[in-house]
């Protein structure tokens, strides 16, 4: 059974897209049956070109990615979510829609905040550096996530493990 993980950020143009790309990349490399998705509360309608560049530079094809609303994941026919991760502070403070997990249970929710690389100073070079550093940091957390038993007998253990990853 595929474990579906939704990564949320307000505009779904940078951090959440980097997280989706890195999680899917590492899951495939490690042979884990995990599918990442990303969405936003107020999607911008476009992926930040620096996010696409950072993923492409890591060997991850991002051409098919699109900025989309989190509403797509609370509708009938949406994948059953096991985990929902917010990656920006504004999305963490918002009231999320109801997402459905497997067997009608709510997914585990966790916040892993990252500064917005779109706001980096230093022109193009500064933004490229910020996006690459954010991609690396997110990728490391995704590797830690993939080391966990994602369908644990004890839901609280998964919540605690995900929160611990966010503190490191």
Longest pairwise C-alpha distance within the chain? 48
Both tokens of 149, joined, read 């038993």
Q: Which of 96, 102, 137, 148 is catalytic?
A: 96
Q: Which of 88, 92, 145, 165 is catalytic?
A: 88
Q: Any catalytic annotation for residue 88?
A: yes
Q: Any catalytic annotation for residue 90?
A: no
SS3 106: coil
Q: Which of 7, 9, 87, 130 is catalytic?
A: 9
Q: Any catalytic annotation for residue 89?
A: no
What b-and-e string marks burial along 143-164, b requiring 16 or more CB atoms within 10 Å of the CB?
bebbeeebeeeeeeebeebbee
CA distances from 68 to 12, 13, 113, 151 (A): 7, 9, 20, 27
- Which position has the token pair 């900025």? 67
Q: Residue 115 burial (CB < 10 Å; 0-12/13-18/19+)? A: middle
Please give the positions annotated as active site.
9, 88, 96
């Amino acid at each position: 059974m595929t474990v579906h993980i939704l990564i949320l950020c307000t505009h779904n143009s940078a951090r959440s897209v980097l997280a989706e790309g890195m999680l899917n990349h590492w899951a495939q490399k490690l042979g884990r049956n995990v599918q990442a998705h990303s969405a936003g509360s107020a999607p911008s309608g476009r992926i930040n070109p620096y996010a696409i560049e950072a993923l492409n530079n890591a060997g991850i094809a991002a051409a098919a990615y699109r900025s989309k609303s989190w509403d797509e994941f609370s509708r009938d026919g949406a994948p059953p979510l096991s985990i929902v991760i917010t990656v920006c502070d504004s999305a963490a403070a918002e009231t999320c829609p109801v997402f459905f997990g497997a067997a009608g249970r709510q997914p585990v929710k966790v916040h892993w905040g990252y500064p917005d690389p779109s706001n980096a100073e230093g022109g193009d070079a500064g933004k490229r550096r910020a996006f690459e550093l954010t991609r690396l940091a997110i990728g490391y957390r995704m590797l830690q996530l993939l080391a966990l038993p994602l369908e644990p007998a004890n839901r609280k253990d998964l919540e605690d493990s995900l929160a611990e990853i966010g503190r490191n």
